[in-house]
Structure formats: C-alpha cells, structure tokens
Amino acid sequence: MRDNRYGALSSWVYNLDKPVGRSFGDLEYYRDRLAQCHGPILEPAVGNGRIFVPLLQEGFQIEGFDASEEMLNYCLDECRGRNLPVDLTLQSFEKFSYDKSFAAIIIPAGSFQLITDEIAAAAVLKRFYDHLAPGGRLIIDLDPVGSILAPPGPIRSWTTEDGDVLTLTDNRVETNYLAQTTLSHNRYELWHKGALIKTELELFKLRWWGIYEFRLALQVAGFMNVQVSGNYQHARTPQSEDEIITFEAQRPIA
C-alpha cells in the first residue's frame, strides 16, 4: 500500500524543486518513445504536471490522475494558465478505473516505488495491463537500489515568490532489507522573516526493486517484450552508476 501523501508544504516544495518542464532527461526520452503512439496515453501519479503539461502542449493525447489533491491543483493551474484542455482526476494507483483502454501508460521519476507492499504492487501492474489496449505499452522508471539506500543529504531550502523560506529535513528512520523498503520522516517547515509559521511531517516510504525481479513481476502480470534501459538511453544495458532505470513492456496483441 502507499504510505505517502503529498500535503500542502511537501507539494509546494515539489513544485518549486521540480517545476513544469524541468527535465532530467526523462521529458525528451518519453517524448521520443511516445512519438509513434496512436491513441490515448495515461500518466498515473501525474503530480504537478512536470512531464504531463509539456506533452499535452505538444499535442499528445494524454490524461492523468494523482492521489494528492494538492499536487493535482498545481497541475490544473499550469494547464489553465496555458489554456490547455485537461482530463485529470483524483484517483490512486490501487483503485483507478477508466471505461476505455490506453495505447500507453507512463510512470516517470520512480513514482511506482511509492507502492511499498509487494502484493499491492503486483496488483497495480495487473491493473495497468488491464487498462492497456492490445499492443499497448507500459513505460516505467525505477530508481536503482543504490540511490534509495544512499544516506540522506543535508537540510535543503527554497525561497518562495514572497521571500519566505521552505526547508526540508530528511531523517531516515528505518531500512527494512526483507521488505526492501526505506522509511524517512520528512519534516517540512515554512519560515517567514525568521519565524517558523508552519510545519508538516511526512512519513515517506519507498520500495526498491532488482532489475530481474521487476522484469519477472512484469511478466507475471502478463506483459511481454520487456526491455530495460539505463539513464534514458533506450536499449542501453543499465550500468552500476546509472541514476535511473527504465522498463518498457507490451501487452500482447492477441
């Protein structure tokens, strides 16, 4: 199950740190991989629309959902500010439902790892499969094990448009090697003229996956033609120093 929920301060920080259009190589990668996609595209966990909005602007037939109302509001505001017609809904990985099939489902930036229970993750993969048209593709990013197990960094800070300061302190409290999860207490603080005016504590949990483990999970869900790429270089075998690993799999045509 998902233990994480982006609240007001964490969503604000996310939007400041990863604004719409900021790319880590993923925007260009997904644009290229979807170029020949004929049919609707779904982005679960759409967040603030960092990837979603640029693709929508470029004419891709894409819609999305997120479990955080705060994050969805950022995405909606970005779309309205650009006069873009948008189809966004408040749904979760575990319960999302559509009365149509998609030509592709994309999950950039490791969002799938917010599902920390292995059984729930398998069920979500099957849900993706069921929502794809025959021949449809699932493209999904995972953070490598090393990046998830890396120790937390120093306190981070961002300055808002009004000159206030937002800070984030990441405190790792648990690493469960059997469940393949980490749990952090993320403390978000809003400061105004040196005074703390708001605090938000987020219990942030992630699950890591091995490459062969996740390939098998995709195959068990019914997918075929699983291809694994490192650092947004399509079909390039992942290397130990890679910062992201992308899986692409297909629902059989028949």
Helices (H), ranges, 26-68: 26-33, 52-57
Q: What SS3 class is residue 71?
A: helix
CATH number of 8-144+208-250: 3.40.50.150
| Structural domain spans, the chain | 8-144+208-250, 147-206
Domain 147-206 has what CATH class? mainly beta
Question: Position of tokens 């400041």?
Answer: 16
The number of residues in the chain equals 254
Helices (H), ranges, 131-254: 145-149, 211-220
Angle at 207 between CA 205 and CA 209, to 5 degrees: 165
What is the pLDDT tens value at each position of the chain, 254 positions in all?
Answer: 345 578 899 999 999 999 999 999 999 999 999 999 999 999 999 999 999 999 999 999 999 999 999 999 999 999 999 999 999 999 999 999 999 999 999 999 999 999 999 999 999 999 999 999 999 999 999 999 999 999 999 999 999 999 999 999 999 999 999 999 999 999 999 999 999 999 999 999 999 999 999 999 999 999 999 999 999 999 999 999 999 999 999 999 97
- Asked whether 134 and 254 are in contact (CB, 8 A), the reply is yes
Helices (H), ranges, 97-210: 118-130, 145-149
Sign of CA dihedral 40, 41, 42, 47: negative
77 CB burial (10 A radius; 0-12, 13-18, 19+): middle
Q: Do domains 8-144+208-250 and 147-206 have the same CATH topology?
A: no
